[in-house]
């Protein structure tokens, strides 16, 4: 069982949006749904590559990365809460099967977000953009997480909120449960939910057969 982090387990996506809006404003651009869709779910290098093109600032990847990370850290320092149902569904799954996080964010930000949300102890296996060559939508993050869990991807479940992450899980051959963080946008899925707090999801988790560890 492999979970995304930002926007799926922890309400960091709202913090990222504030930071991104501030960066866009700093460079003289507005920030709305179109701009958010351009960035959501991407690794920081991929997002910055989009920004250098959008802002017309070729060759300034390093500067824009530093600006964005400073703004994001400022927002995350204010705290990030677990999204509704996140702690309960992770706890139910972790009690029965091996679980992990696979995130396109840098490790320092992921671990800080999980700790602030009270999820770190439930998710000891964390794979981030720092641990792979290619982030989502490439399947490497999910394949690496499954390998660390000793699980076959085809027999594993991915939880995602973005199109980028969903593409990675699909490419890894995993069953895909999707809880979109951007309302109104179609995202690939095998099971589509509005929230992790859905009673049907909790009931499903409680039917999982425990695996010997």
**Catalytic residue set:** 4, 6
Give the residues across from 178 on adjacent strands.
160, 192
Rounded CA-CA distance 52/1 in Å is 35
Beta bridge mates, 159: 3, 177
What the block records as the tokens of 150 is 């000793």
Residues in the chain: 213
């Amino acid at each position: 069982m492999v979970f995304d982090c930002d926007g799926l387990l922890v309400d960091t996506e709202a913090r990222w949006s504030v930071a991104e809006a501030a960066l866009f404003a700093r460079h003289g651009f507005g920030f709305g749904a179109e701009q958010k869709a351009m960035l959501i779910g991407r690794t920081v290098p991929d997002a910055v590559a989009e920004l250098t093109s959008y802002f017309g600032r070729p060759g300034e990847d390093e500067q824009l990365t530093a600006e964005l990370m400073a703004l994001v850290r400022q927002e995350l320092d204010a705290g990030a809460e677990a999204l509704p149902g996140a702690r309960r569904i992770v706890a139910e799954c972790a009690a029965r099967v091996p679980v992990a996080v696979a995130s396109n964010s840098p490790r320092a930000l992921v671990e800080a977000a999980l700790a602030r949300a009270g999820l770190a102890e439930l998710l000891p296996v964390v794979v981030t953009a720092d641990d792979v060559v290619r982030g989502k939508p490439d399947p490497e993050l999910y394949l690496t997480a499954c390998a660390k869990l000793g699980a076959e991807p085809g027999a594993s479940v991915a939880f995602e909120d973005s199109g980028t992450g969903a593409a990675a899980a699909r490419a890894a051959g995993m069953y895909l449960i999707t809880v979109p963080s951007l309302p109104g946008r179609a995202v690939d899925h095998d099971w589509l939910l509005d929230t992790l707090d859905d009673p049907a999801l909790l009931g499903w988790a409680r039917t999982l057969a425990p695996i010997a560890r």
